[in-house]
């Protein structure tokens, strides 16, 4: 039998003690004790070496994990576990001495946890997700990222052209909560004062403002993903709308000769924030694709198979929103000149490109990097 396909019961599900075989206790109390001792010694013979080997493997697994075993030992472990379970079942049915029963029960329980227990702790699982799972999942959404990226750029171009042709469109396209004091009536000095405002301090930037930005952006990202269940069209519209707002802001500042300064101001956090928004939109489109085209599976089965990958992308994007909120809340004002802002944004963008395109790829021999 293939060891990988074995799924044994836990030690507590092993056979319970039955009635002793006839004559097993002997005719006298002294004979009963000698009979138990003799049967225990015979029972141990030929089996104890396997128990000791199993115990040694378990000790190493408990200390350092399954990586402490060689490939041959990893294949042998479930077989030795099954042998120990068999010994425990037999020992219970022929009523051997209690110390041996307790030893086999303990050994079988520890072996069960080593064979079927969790393989990694939470920190190790998170490391593996960000080291391999997240970038690989993003690379699997190439077509969807291209679609949402095109929608976002189209919205940006439309917003820029609309506001450039008529500044009054800015108020129509941009929510008041985002525009703040900026609008068609703003002077160049007023807009510049926002772009190069002094740093207000650690608490106001890295705690209060950054937390508010993170919550706002994360809600938008998750909303973009959730709209994918409506066949993806609302997701596309939301990408276009986000592009419209940015295009409108660029046009407003371009009208006052501040387009480059605004893009530098935006780029510090935008390289991370816009990436996260696009990832959420792409994940939503991936879900929409499986709803509309489930292949040979039912729609529910297709969502179960592919939805997990999309949800993982959104979970990673939420972390990007946190980083973007941190950058927007504080670093945007700490770095208070346009060339330095572009340099910071370029470094950030290059880092994300490397992470998503290179990290987690298989090595030259097919192994993970």
Residue 111: Cβ-neighbour burial (10 angstroms; 0-12, 13-18, 19+): buried
Residue boundaries of the structural domains of the chain: 3-119, 124-357
> Kind and range of the H or E element at 101?
helix 98-116
Residue-level pLDDT at 358: 93
Burial zone of 194 (CB within 10 Å; 0-12 exposed, 13-18 middle, 19+ buried): middle
Q: Per-residue pLDDT for the chain (369 aa), expressed as one digit of tens each?
A: 444 444 444 444 444 444 344 444 444 444 444 555 556 777 887 788 999 999 999 998 888 777 788 888 888 988 999 999 988 888 888 766 788 888 889 999 988 888 887 666 667 788 889 999 999 999 999 999 999 999 999 999 999 999 999 999 999 999 888 888 899 999 999 999 989 887 766 665 655 556 667 777 888 888 888 877 777 889 999 999 999 999 999 999 999 999 999 999 999 999 999 999 999 999 999 988 888 877 777 767 777 677 788 889 999 999 999 898 888 877 777 888 899 999 999 999 999 999 999 998 865 444 444
Give me the pLDDT at residue 257, please.
Answer: 94
Task: Say how far apart CA 42 and CA 47 lie, in whole Å.
Answer: 9
pLDDT at 5: 41
Predicted pLDDT at 279: 95
pLDDT of 42 reads 77
Q: Quick one: pLDDT at residue 203?
A: 63
Question: Residue 362 pairs with which residues in a beta bridge?
Answer: 368
The closest of 131, 129, 254, 258 to 192, measured between CA atoms, is 258
Q: Which long-range contacts (CB under 8 A, 24 or more apart) does 5-9 make?
A: 6/78, 6/82, 7/116, 8/78, 8/81, 8/82, 8/85, 8/112, 9/85
Residue 227, pLDDT score = 79
Global pTM reads 0.66
pLDDT at 206: 57
- Measured over the CA atoms of residue 41, residue 46, residue 48 and residue 51, the dihedral's sign is negative
* All residues at 6 or more sequence positions from 316 whose CB lies less than 8 Å from its CB, including other chains: 129, 130, 134, 137, 138, 279
């Amino acid at each position: 039998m293939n060891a990988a396909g074995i799924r044994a019961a836990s030690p507590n599900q092993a056979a319970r003690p039955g009635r002793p075989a006839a004559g097993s206790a002997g005719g006298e109390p002294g004979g009963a004790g000698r009979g138990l001792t003799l049967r225990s010694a015979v029972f141990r013979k030929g089996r104890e070496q396997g128990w000791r080997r199993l115990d040694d493997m378990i000790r190493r697994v408990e200390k350092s994990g399954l990586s402490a075993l060689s490939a041959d030992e990893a294949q042998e472990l479930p077989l030795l576990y099954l042998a120990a379970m068999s010994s425990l079942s037999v020992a219970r049915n022929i009523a051997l001495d209690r110390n041996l029963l307790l030893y086999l029960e303990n050994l079988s329980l520890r072996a069960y946890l080593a064979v079927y227990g969790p393989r990694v702790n939470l920190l190790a699982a998170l490391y593996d997700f960000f080291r391999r799972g997240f970038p690989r999942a993003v690379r699997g959404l190439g077509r969807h990222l291209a679609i949402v990226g095109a929608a976002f750029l189209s919205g940006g171009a439309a917003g820029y052209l609309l506001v450039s042709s008529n500044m009054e469109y800015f108020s129509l396209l941009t929510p008041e909560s985002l525009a703040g004091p900026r609008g068609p009536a703003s002077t160049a000095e007023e807009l510049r004062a926002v772009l190069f405002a002094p740093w207000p301090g650690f608490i106001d930037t890295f705690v209060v403002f950054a937390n508010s930005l993170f919550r706002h952006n994360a809600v938008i990202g998750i909303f973009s993903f959730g709209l994918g269940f409506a066949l993806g069209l609302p997701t596309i519209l939301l990408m276009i709308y986000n592009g419209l707002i940015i295009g409108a802001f660029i046009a407003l500042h371009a009208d006052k000769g501040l387009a480059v300064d605004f893009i530098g101001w935006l780029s510090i956090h935008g390289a991370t924030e816009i990436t996260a928004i696009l990832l959420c939109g792409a994940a939503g489109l991936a879900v929409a694709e499986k709803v509309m085209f489930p292949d040979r599976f039912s729609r529910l089965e297709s969502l179960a198979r592919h939805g997990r990958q999309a949800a993982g992308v959104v979970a990673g994007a939420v972390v990007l929103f946190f980083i973007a909120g941190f950058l927007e809340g504080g670093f945007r004002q700490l770095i208070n000149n346009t060339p330095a802002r572009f340099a910071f944004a370029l470094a950030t963008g290059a880092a994300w490109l490397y992470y998503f395109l290179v990290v987690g790829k298989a090595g030259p021999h097919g192994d993970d990097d």
